[in-house]
Structure 1
Amino acid sequence: MIQAMNSSPVQISPPKIRPLSLAVALLIMIGGSIYPFAFAKADGSADHTFAMLIFWAMSAGLVNGVGFVPRWLLWRWIFSGWACLMALLLACVIRLA
């Protein structure tokens, strides 16, 4: 049990590797390294909204995938597996729109 800043104690599960989140993050990282134009618009300019969402998904996947559990509730949500999925789905919606 961990005492969060100015709040009641928070029950945090023991850290463990989460292979799906880690695989998604590594796939984004490797795919973006091999073909960086995937993060650009059709005209070649930067697509900042898409890049922000896809990099959020990658960051959340890496943090969650290696089993790190932040103490602060907001960070715990931002770097959760569900946040990774939500950012990835929003990036797909932005790309397909």
Structure 2
Amino acid sequence: MQAPVEAQEQGAEEPGRSASVQPLALGLGIVLMLVGSFRPDWLAEASGKANHGLAMLWFWAMAAGFVRGVGFIPRFWLWRWLFSGWAAFAALAAALAWRFADL
């Protein structure tokens, strides 16, 4: 059974590419969500002040992990890049570098 034409037109998949669940990216998003929920102090400076740059990178990695992890591929090239699996891991690497540089 084929999906209705309007559903195919509104889909966010790249032409010729099927979107599927990406367990590694989804797992990354879940782990970052849990760490941010149970250890929010990890996203703060030593003085206890929120580190907004670190939090921005952390939440970007988490959001990109969820978006790509569930198999969604945006149509617009900028969103496709910002929410790709590569962007998720790059944002995580930058967040970890920022976090451990502050210690």
TM-score normalised according to structure 1 size = 0.86
Out of 27, 30, 45, the residue aligned to residue 31 of structure 2 is: 27
Task: Output the CA distance in 1 between the equivalents of 2:16 and 2:77.
Answer: 10
Out of 72, 75, 84, the residue aligned to residue 80 of structure 1 is: 84
The runs of at least 4 aligned residues of structure 1 exceeding 6 Å deviation read: none
**Residues matched between the structures, number:** 89
Tell me the secondary structure at the aligned position of residue 32 of structure 1. helix
Unaligned runs of 5+ in 2: 1-8
Unaligned runs of 5+ in 1: 3-9
The one-letter amino acid paired with 2:41 is F
Task: Output the CA distance in 2 between the equivalents of 1:60 and 1:38.
Answer: 20
1:66 aligns with 2:60: no
Which has the larger share of strand? 1
Q: Which has the larger radius of gyration?
A: 2
Residue 12 of structure 1, CA deviation: 5.3
